[in-house]
Amino acid sequence: MVIHYWKCFRNAAFILYHIEKRYVLILAAALLISVPIMPLELLLVKTIIDRIQAWSASAPISPILWASGWLGLLMFVNSVALGAPIPLAMTRLNEVGTLEEQRLIMRKTSRLPLATIESAKVKDMRERALRVSVYEIYHTGAELLQLSMQLLVLIIVIIRLGQWLPVIAVIASVLLLVYISGKSAGSIERMTREQSSDRRLLRHYSELMTNRIAAKEVRLFDLGSLLSDRWTVLMGQTSKHTLSAVRSAEGRKVAPELLMALLTGLLLALVVLMPGQKLLSAGHFAFLFLALTTLLSQLPSLIRQGVAMRTHYMKWEDFQAYLNLDEVQPNRSNREASAAFEEKVAEGKQPGGLQLQVSNLHFGYPGNNRDAIRGVSFVIPPNSRVALVGENGSGKSTLVKLLLGLYSPTTGEIVWSRLKAGRIVPTSAEGNVSVVFQDFTRLLLTLRENVALGQISALMDDKRLHQSLQAAGSRFEDLSMQLGVPFEGIEPSGGEWQKIATARAILNDAEFVLFDEPTAALDPKAEKDAFELFLRASEGRSALLVTHRLGAAKMADIILVLKEGQLVEQGTHQQLMERDGLYSHMFQLQASWYVG
């Protein structure tokens, strides 16, 4: 276990050293320099006492003054010279350590598959990982090393003075107390791990009661009391379990701590009463007494730091477990994809644009016995407009996330390719696809930043940004305008937010455009404008329109119809209407709402 603690301390020190070399070295040096100061101070006390005992009126007093001066110098170094830089270093390392922990977790989260992020188990893992403190691991480990070296020096001194029996008794009692305290700390930390889901739920209740998005429903349906009561009950249960675990842990430590206290008093008494002590000089006796007293007084700190290191190590394990989660990986090599694709694609395709081929795609969410996508296969040729339709729950959103690489399929292939010099060249969706999601992100930034994030190189290109906004039909022109009430900006309507998101996608001049339910938040006129925008944005590109408005699907070259995760129909609007299947039934049902 000591090896594990050492590796944990070393890794934390490496992380901090990589960011802030200066303060890591300052803290380490200050702690190490302080190790010999304490025994030197005791030695000077012994020297001063012996010299005072031997001093007479005729003898010079300068040796006593010199020894006292050196003692004062050591005390100054320990309290002032070392005392000033240590708090500064600790504050700085705490700041950079906290930022680095959060950066590593955020970066890891951004690289995880979407299905992994959505897992409740992984959410609990992230909750536990956020409890780590790289600084605390380093600081606790450094103090543990410092105390261990100091006490080792004191033990050697006490043994050299012939007092080996007290040392054996102290070491035995310390090992017992460390073992019991470590077990108690471990049980408390395991209980805290088990409460990860409850803590997430408590935070969710708190956010519902305080954030702006939920405020309307909370007030309209008078949910404040219900949520507050649930928060109170869950917090009470959590606190009760925590109190019970702490009470049990502290109860186990009562006997060893009582033994330690009795042993301390007994050993100090033995130092005074043991035979032969009268043969020691006053300085030697004071030196031995102070050394043993210091040893016994420092042992509780050593035990606390050892127990704290065990807890930090368990948190570090959670931190590492999260950072070691599998990241997004391509399903197959480009070379394999290219060979398989070239065998299946006919000659004479139109140049330009991306081509997408999906073959026998399956995907299931963790914990669900039935796949959400089952055996889906289709091709979107270059420069083709395709509409994806289906009832709610048919799997449209899941399929879109698979196409974009946000989910990894259970089985099957998703191959993005383009024609180049008469050959099919494999590529990927990343950097080649512009997307406007139905649940697009409302970035509380300036209008300039909202649009420019589609292609960050255009951040200061006002002409391109204005062109993208105009093409998306946005009425906004002031690029420096702050968006979002929480930061004292304006709050665009749902439709205007969607236009901003569309402008972001247009700015990224990709070869494939994907609109996921682009008219969900729009009125009829804005809906018509959005479909016209889709037509303009998809000129000379491949495009996929996910929609429940089947009137818009009529403009597509190919219509894909999903039902319960399966592709049940595909073809043109006319072909599907003549087939009189699911698409025809859905289209006629929607048309009946507009035709009396």
Residue 561's closest CA among 211, 573, 444, 315? 573
- Which sequence spans correspond to the domains of the chain? 2-34+82-323, 335-432+511-518+541-596
CATH tag for 335-432+511-518+541-596 (out of 1.10.3720.10, 2.40.30.10, 1.20.120.350, 3.40.50.300): 3.40.50.300
Given pLDDT bands bounded at 50, 70 and 90, which one contains residue 552?
confident
pLDDT one-digit tens code per residue, 60-97: 788 778 878 887 877 777 776 666 678 888 889 999 99
Taking CA atoms, 413 is separated from 107, 387, 390, 397, in Å, by 28, 20, 22, 18
**What band does 336 get if pLDDT is binned at 50, 70 and 90?**
very low
Pairing of strands 433-436, 512-516: parallel
DSSP per-residue codes, 455-478: SGGGTT-HHHHHHHHHHTT-----
Tens of pLDDT, residues 340-351 = 334 444 433 344
Average pLDDT, the chain: 81
Mean pLDDT of the region 470-491: 87
The DSSP secondary structure of 273-289, one letter per residue, reads HSTTGGGS-HHHHHHHH
Contacts (Cβ under 8 Å, ≥6 apart) of 408: 113, 115, 328, 329, 331, 402
Instruction: Residue 442: count other Cβ atoms within 10 Å of its Cβ.
Output: 17
The amino acid at residue 300 is: P
Please tell me which residue, 563 or 73, carries the higher pLDDT value: 563
Tell the CATH topology of 2-34+82-323. ABC transporter transmembrane region fold (1.20.1560)
User: Which tokens hold the place of 317?
Assistant: 């394990």
- Mean pLDDT lowest for which of 139-143, 316-320, 490-494? 490-494
pLDDT tens, position by position, 193-216: 888 889 889 988 888 888 777 887
Residue whose pair of structure tokens reads 């109170």 in the numeric block: 232
Q: How many Å apart are CA 216 and CA 586, to the nearest integer?
A: 34
- Looking at residue 504, its pLDDT comes to 85
Residue 337: pLDDT band with limits 50, 70, 90: very low
By the 8 A CB rule, do 119 and 366 touch? yes
pTM above 0.75, yes or no: no
